[in-house]
Chains A and B, each alone.
Chain A
Amino acid sequence: MGPGPLSTYSAITLSINGEKYTLSVDHRTTLLDALREQLDLTGTKKGCDQGQCGACTVLLDGRRTVSCLQLAVAAEGRAITTIEGVADGERLHPVQQAFLDLDGYQCGYCTPGQICSALGVIEEHAAGWPSAVTADVRPEAGVPPLTAEEIRERMSGNLCRCGAYVSIVQAVARAAEAQVAEAGDDTKEAAA
């Protein structure tokens, strides 16, 4: 446990991309700032710092999260995956490969967030979650296919000012198809 209740700093251990990092954080420090300023993991981007753009998306216990509204001290004990942990060594994740091949970016600043969000989208869809454009949300209706419309809605928390949405959606669709094909042999594979 940290020091007394009125302490404004805590010594914490964060689990990031499978590694443990011990650091002292000002309670005001967001996970985003801890990654960027203290741990030199600058792949996670700060676009608005207000939860309004999605550039800072990381996975927390496998779920996509905006790290700008996540206090670092409150992230202790949770498994954090950032863009730096998405590839398997030198081998790009299919989502990364699809973004690269289909030019799913321009300036690249929203890209890590888009990729982490896409990992979440594919997982959420595989888990049977409906979306705001799912015509019938009742469980009896089953899981809708991951159409372009579904991808667009589910990815809408990631803004891209360059206007690369068209190729981002294509990249997510391609990666999702690859994932489904892969999952055909091996029933379940974690996203990252």
Chain B
Amino acid sequence: MREFGYERVLDVSGAVALLGDDPDARFLGGGTNLVDLMKAGVERPTRLVDVRELPLDRIEFTPDGGLHIGATVTNSDLAAHPEVRRHFPALAQAVLAGASGQLRNMATVGGNLLQRTRCGYFTDLAKPCNKRAPGSGCPAIEGEHHNHAILGASAHCVATHPSDMAVALTAFDALVSYETADGPGELPLADFYLPVGDTPHRETALPPGALITGVTLPAAPVAAHSRYRKVRERASYAFAIGSIAAALDVRGDVVREVRLAFGAVASRPWRAGEAERVLTGGPASAEAFAAAADAELAAARPLPHNGFKVPLMRNLVVAVLTELAEEAAR
């Protein structure tokens, strides 16, 4: 870890101004990912701008009944918040499924969106990685990849996005707000993460130097009937090998509205739009759920050792939607 300057800021415009256009400066939130990557040598900033004390730690209703979540809200506070648990239970569950109690107490919403992949090649400087060292190659494709992407990957990178929270946010059409020296901006989470293509090192559409200030969840009554389900190789304190955020509104056995997003299958949280289209207006049956999952997963291109994720995701879609449908029928 090289030496770096440290400044703590108390207002958003000051933070943005201080970071400026310095490519070697980073905002420091909870530090749970950045400090780890600095120790690994993956990140080598010369300056840290500590944004944890910015007045962005509130969760408030928006005028239309949605929720605005400040960027420095900790994962713990997000998951414990009564309105989040009431209106977006899958979001609370997703956050609770991530990391550990200690890390959730530290990690912020803004930082969570920006966390980097846990691909073992990415975090090991001794190995090639196109995401860390563009052009050096992707050894995972021929090497260890049993927990790598099956959707939206490229010949340049097959890493997955590690966030659980972002999967639920994706299902709920979250908007990311940010601040730059030129003023504020907003990005739908659906457009926030860039396609992998041949530039896996370019991960988000945030303008250079932008500070995430918050996330807005539009009002979504369907989200009150939602669930997050995570499968991992240990019962807790492990990254997903497959996860799903689902919300379902069923009336008289007909799907009125459904939200589906997958985790641990792509370089970004994967909104299962095709499955949603197949399901909407159709029957709420296990067969329909499976058909919808198959429609979504038709695009899957598994590698030799991660093909299990296709049936895993199909089974998760069926299981979670079946549970939600049964609860709606009660």
Q: Does A63 contact B (CB under 8 A)?
A: yes
For A108, the chain B residues whose CB sits under 8 A away are none
Interface digits, A92-125 against B, CB 8 Å rule (1 contact, 0 not)? 0000000000000000000000000100110010
Residue of A nearest to B50 (CB): A74
Tally chain B residues at the interface, Cβ within 8 Å: 43
CB-defined A-B contacts under 8 Å, sample of 27: A6-B5, A8-B5, A27-B4, A28-B3, A51-B32, A54-B100, A65-B105, A66-B32, A66-B102, A69-B30, A69-B31, A69-B36, A69-B103, A71-B28, A71-B31, A71-B48, A73-B6, A120-B105, A127-B80, A128-B80, A130-B85, A132-B230, A134-B96, A139-B82, A139-B86, A153-B236, A156-B236
- The 8 Å CB contact of A27, one of B18, B48, B92, B235, is B48
Instruction: Specify which of B28, B32, B93, B101 lies most central, judged by the most chain A CB atoms within 10 Å of its CB.
Output: B101
Interface digits, A52-92 against B, CB 8 Å rule (1 contact, 0 not)? 00100100100111100111011000000000000000000
Q: Does A147 contact B (CB under 8 A)?
A: no
Q: For the complex formed, measure the closest distance between the CB of B50 and the CB atoms of chain A, giving whole angstroms.
A: 5
- Residues of chain B at the chain A interface (Cβ within 8 Å): 1, 3-8, 18, 28, 30-32, 35-36, 38-39, 46-48, 50, 52, 76, 79-80, 82, 85-86, 89, 92-93, 96-97, 99-103, 105-106, 230, 235-237
Q: How far is the CA of A63 from the CA of B105 in the complex (A)?
A: 7
For A153, the chain B residues whose CB sits under 8 A away are 235-236
Residue of B nearest to A155 (CB): B101
Contact B35 A121 (CB under 8 A): no
Q: Does A138 contact B (CB under 8 A)?
A: yes
Q: Which 9 A-B residue pairs are closest in the complex by CB-CB distance?
A: A157-B100, A156-B236, A8-B3, A139-B82, A132-B96, A63-B105, A156-B237, A129-B80, A27-B6
Residue of A nearest to B31 (CB): A69
Contact A27 B80 (CB under 8 A): no
Contact B100 A138 (CB under 8 A): no
For B236, the chain A residues whose CB sits under 8 A away are 132, 152-153, 156
Q: For the complex formed, measure the closest distance between the CB of B264 and the CB atoms of chain A, giving whole angstroms.
A: 16
Besides A66-B32, A74-B50, A117-B101, 11 new A-B residue pairs in contact (Cβ under 8 A), listed by A number: A28-B4, A28-B38, A63-B105, A66-B106, A69-B35, A69-B103, A70-B31, A132-B93, A137-B92, A139-B85, A157-B101
Residue of A nearest to B4 (CB): A27
For B47, the chain A residues whose CB sits under 8 A away are 5-6
- The 8 Å CB contact of B52, one of A74, A127, A138, A156, is A74
Name A's interface SS. loop
Q: How far is the CA of A5 from the CA of B47 in the complex (A)?
A: 8
Q: For the complex formed, measure the closest distance between the CB of A135 and the CB atoms of chain B, giving whole angstroms.
A: 10
Contact A120 B102 (CB under 8 A): yes
Tally chain A residues at the interface, Cβ within 8 Å: 48
- The 8 Å CB contact of A64, one of B32, B46, B101, is B101
Contact A74 B31 (CB under 8 A): yes
Q: Does A140 contact B (CB under 8 A)?
A: yes
For A6, the chain B residues whose CB sits under 8 A away are 5, 46-47
- The 8 Å CB contact of A157, one of B30, B52, B89, B237, is B237
Interface residues in A1-56 (C-beta closer than 8 Å to B) = 2, 5-8, 10, 26-28, 30, 49-51, 54
Q: Does A131 contact B (CB under 8 A)?
A: yes
Q: For the complex formed, measure the closest distance between the CB of A166 and the CB atoms of chain B, giving whole angstroms.
A: 15
For A60, the chain B residues whose CB sits under 8 A away are 105
Contact A65 B31 (CB under 8 A): no
For B79, the chain A residues whose CB sits under 8 A away are 129-130, 137
